[in-house]
């Protein structure tokens, strides 16, 4: 816990930072329900720098997925703005590729290789042949070369998510957006996928915006964590987590950090409810 | 600490005994292989063509038996007689000629209907106004029997293929548009967002994402449309048989019924049935196997 606060202070020391890659500035988001318009987030601001592994963490109802969709361009902010490379985000685009939680994000009518190559080709980045080559390169990175000609329905959930990650990486987006990508996987596969994601980041150094509701996953995957409080989503804290990886999971320091995040997320609960006598 | 106090005394809640741990190597796999071949009769019955063939043979036998018991060729010719008449008219080129006429008109009407249904459905998914247009038109025209429109068709398009194509379009377009629209609306939201994430819009989005994703419904609609088109065509030819100038299968059936060649009437019906079976089991089956079955969208 001491370590975390110390590094948080350290990060505020450099006065001249390079311009942020992605800036979310005072964003208020709303969604229209059956009979009313509900505010999902309120005045949320954060900055993501190149090669960040930025995690949005919060309990359900904190609007973290809605925020990710807004960065993806699927939702227009009610107030505030989202800037990518200084330009406002306008609609979905191939420079912000999303990896969804659901396994049905892969078009079932395309083989694994086509699934990865198709968006590269239709977004006009590469021709058919080079797109297939790039697909093979990234499929090799996620260890799925053997399944390049299989259809998604023949793959397990973890493999489908690997394809989705390979597809996102093959687009070489400015920001990779991940919406609880491992939440629907079993615990063992999830751990392995986290490991692989970190190894890929070590190699490719992409910029990642990652949404999760798991404190452990946030500490392991992220180098910086934004905590959101629910109903509506508001900024609670931004913490550093670059010193944690999967191997430090059991240590006392890691536990202390997790407890601190837990306290920050849940201390808003009124005392008479949190401590019944 | 507070939790332990909440627990009842150990005697009242039996705890499982603590047992020693053990480790051992898995025992050897029994037999040479863990897979076994399926017995031949069972494997044969897994072939759909064989099962369907057996059903057809059973129906033919039933027909033959009923016809023999009934013993009136004018009312119900036997299976053998029908097949003979069928063979004769194929050999002298009557049935192939009539079938070709029918298929020619049918394909023109069917394809135009498919194109129009596609245009209408694309409009329906791209705007709320288009959706209202589709649902209003479909609820108005879908229940209307195509044959009821044939007099109008004859009035507007004359005694040629035009009037037949008009009623065929009407019979194909509405059910197909309805199915297509249902298919488009049931495409998973994640897949839609994925497509838009690729930067696809407009017709490219429809053709590259929505159409393949809705293919199970579209194929079902195409099958229904195909059956409707045949019914409409045969009925139209039966009612206004000579209107197309060159008669089709419906006209063949009508003529032979007038001359009381009941075996030829059945031969004409069999031709329609065979064409239907071929299109269903060869053409549509192939399309399904190469697409939705292979992609795991249907079982």
CATH number at residue B222: 1.10.3720.10
Do the beta carbons of residue B195 and residue B136 sit within 8 Å?
no
Whether B173 is covered by a domain: the verdict is: yes
Token pair in block for residue A124: 């006009």
ipTM at complex level: 0.70
Instruction: Please list every residue in chain B whose beta carbon sits closer than 8 Å to the beta carbon of residue A118.
Output: 198, 208
CA–CA gap between residue A219 and residue A241 (Å, rounded): 5
| CA B246, chain centre distance (Å) | 29
Q: Say how many CB pairs under 8 Å bridge A and B.
A: 68
Provide the domain limits for residue B111: 93-290
Whether B217 is covered by a domain: the verdict is: yes
Closest CA of chain A from B23, distance in Å: 22
CA–CA gap between residue B184 and residue B43 (Å, rounded): 38
CA–CA gap between residue A205 and residue A203 (Å, rounded): 6
Instruction: Please list every residue in chain B whose beta carbon sits closer than 8 Å to the beta carbon of residue A152.
Output: 295-296
Whether B187 is covered by a domain: the verdict is: yes
- Using the beta-carbon criterion (under 8 Å), do A107 and B190 form an inter-chain contact? no
CA–CA gap between residue B93 and residue B277 (Å, rounded): 21
Closest CA of chain A from B196, distance in Å: 6
Tell whether B197 lies on the interface with A, counting CB pairs under 8 A: yes
Indicate the residue of A93, A102, A151 with minimum beta-carbon distance to B296. A151
Annotate A240-251 with three-state secondary structure.
Answer: ECCCCCHHHCCC
Residues A126-137 have a mean pLDDT of 87
Residue with tokens 């200084």: A86
**Sheet strands (E) in A2-133:** 22-32, 37-48, 53-58, 79-84, 87-88, 96-99
Other CB atoms within a 10 A radius of the CB of residue B134 amount to 22
Overall size of chain A counted in residues:
277
pLDDT digit string (tens) for A186-223? 888 888 888 888 888 888 888 899 999 888 888 888 88
Residue B2 has pLDDT above 50, yes or no: no
**Domains contained in chain A, number:** 1
Provide the domain limits for residue A115: 106-196
Question: A36 or B77: whose pLDDT is higher?
Answer: B77
Do the beta carbons of residue B98 and residue B264 sit within 8 Å?
no
pTM to 2 decimals? 0.74
**Domains contained in chain B, number:** 1
The Cβ-side half-sphere exposure at B252, using a 13 Å CA radius, reads 28
Indicate the residue of B190, B208, B212 with minimum beta-carbon distance to A105. B190
Indicate the residue of B188, B208, B215 with minimum beta-carbon distance to A104. B188
Whether B124 is covered by a domain: the verdict is: yes
Whether A85 is covered by a domain: the verdict is: no
Tell whether B290 lies on the interface with A, counting CB pairs under 8 A: no
CA–CA gap between residue B25 and residue B110 (Å, rounded): 66
pLDDT digit string (tens) for A108-122? 899 999 899 998 888
Whether B197 is covered by a domain: the verdict is: yes
CA–CA gap between residue A150 and residue A110 (Å, rounded): 9
Whether B43 is covered by a domain: the verdict is: no
Whether A110 is covered by a domain: the verdict is: yes
Whether A37 is covered by a domain: the verdict is: no
pLDDT digit string (tens) for B101-112? 889 889 999 999
Residue A145's CATH number: 3.40.50.300
- Using the beta-carbon criterion (under 8 Å), do B198 and A122 form an inter-chain contact? yes
Buried residues in A178-202 as b, exposed as e (16+ CB within 10 A): bbbbbebbeeebbbbbbebbeebbe
Whether B129 is covered by a domain: the verdict is: yes
Tell whether B192 lies on the interface with A, counting CB pairs under 8 A: no
Instruction: Please list every residue in chain B whose beta carbon sits closer than 8 Å to the beta carbon of residue A98.
Output: 193-194, 197
Closest CA of chain B from A1, distance in Å: 24
Whether B188 is covered by a domain: the verdict is: yes
Q: How many helices (H) and strands (E) does chain A have?
A: 9, 10
The rounded percent of chain A whose pLDDT value lies above 90 is 4
Whether A138 is covered by a domain: the verdict is: yes
């Amino acid at each position: 816990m001491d370590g975390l606060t110390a590094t948080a202070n350290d990060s505020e020391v450099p006065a001249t930072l390079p311009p942020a890659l992605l800036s979310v500035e005072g964003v208020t988001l709303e969604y229209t329900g059956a009979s009313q318009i509900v505010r999902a987030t309120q005045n949320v601001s954060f900055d993501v720098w190149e090669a960040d592994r930025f995690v949005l963490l919060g309990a359900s109802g904190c609007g973290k997925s809605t925020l990710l969709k807004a960065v993806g361009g699927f939702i227009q902010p009610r107030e505030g703005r989202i800037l990518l490379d200084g330009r406002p985000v306008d609609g979905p685009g191939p420079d912000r590729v999303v990896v969804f939680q659901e396994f049905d994000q892969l078009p079932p009518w395309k083989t694994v290789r086509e699934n990865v190559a198709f968006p590269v080709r239709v977004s006009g980045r590469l021709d058919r042949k080079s797109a297939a080559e790039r697909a093979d390169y990234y499929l090799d990175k996620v260890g799925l070369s053997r399944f390049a000609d299989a259809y998604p329905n023949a793959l397990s959930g973890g493999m489908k998510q690997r394809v989705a990650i390979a597809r996102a990486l093959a687009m070489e987006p400015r920001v990779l957006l991940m919406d609880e990508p491992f939440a629907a996987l079993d615990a063992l596969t999830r751990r392995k996928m986290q490991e692989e994601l970190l190894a890929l980041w070590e190699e490719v150094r992409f910029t990642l915006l990652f949404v999760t509701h798991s404190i452990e996953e946030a500490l392991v995957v992220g180098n910086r964590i934004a905590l959101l409080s629910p109903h509506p989503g508001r900024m609670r804290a931004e913490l550093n987590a670059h010193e944690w990886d999967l191997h430090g999971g059991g240590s006392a320091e890691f536990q202390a950090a997790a407890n601190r995040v837990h306290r920050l997320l849940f201390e808003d609960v009124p005392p008479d409810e949190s401590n019944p006598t | 600490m507070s939790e332990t106090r909440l627990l009842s005394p150990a005697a009242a809640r039996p705890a499982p005994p603590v047992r020693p741990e053990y480790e051992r190597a898995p025992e050897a796999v029994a037999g040479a292989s863990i897979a076994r071949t399926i017995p031949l009769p069972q494997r044969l019955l897994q072939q759909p063509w064989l099962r369907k063939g057996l059903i057809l043979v059973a129906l033919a036998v039933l027909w033959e038996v009923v016809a023999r018991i009934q013993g009136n060729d004018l009312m119900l010719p036997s299976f053998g007689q029908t097949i003979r008449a069928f063979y004769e008219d194929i050999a002298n080129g009557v049935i192939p000629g009539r079938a070709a006429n029918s298929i020619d008109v049918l394909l023109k009407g069917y394809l135009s209907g498919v194109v129009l249904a596609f245009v209408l459905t694309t409009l329906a998914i791209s705007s709320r106004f288009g959706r209202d247009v589709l649902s209003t038109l479909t609820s108005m025209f879908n229940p209307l029997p195509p044959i009821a429109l044939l007099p109008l068709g004859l009035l507007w398009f004359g005694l040629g293929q035009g009037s037949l194509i008009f009623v065929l379009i009407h019979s194909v377009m509405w059910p197909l548009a309805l199915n297509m629209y249902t298919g488009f609306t049931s495409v998973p939201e994640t897949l839609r967002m994925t497509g838009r994430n690729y930067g696809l819009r407009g017709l490219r989005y429809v053709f590259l994402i929505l159409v393949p994703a809705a293919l199970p419904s579209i194929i079902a609609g195409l099958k229904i449309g195909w059956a409707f088109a045949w019914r409409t065509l045969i009925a139209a030819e039966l009612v206004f048989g000579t209107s197309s100038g060159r008669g089709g299968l419906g006209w063949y059936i009508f003529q032979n019924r007038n001359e009381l060649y009941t075996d030829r009437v059945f031969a004409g019906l069999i031709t329609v049935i065979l064409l239907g079976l071929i299109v269903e089991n060869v053409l549509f089956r192939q399309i399904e196997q190469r697409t939705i079955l292979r992609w795991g969208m249907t079982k």
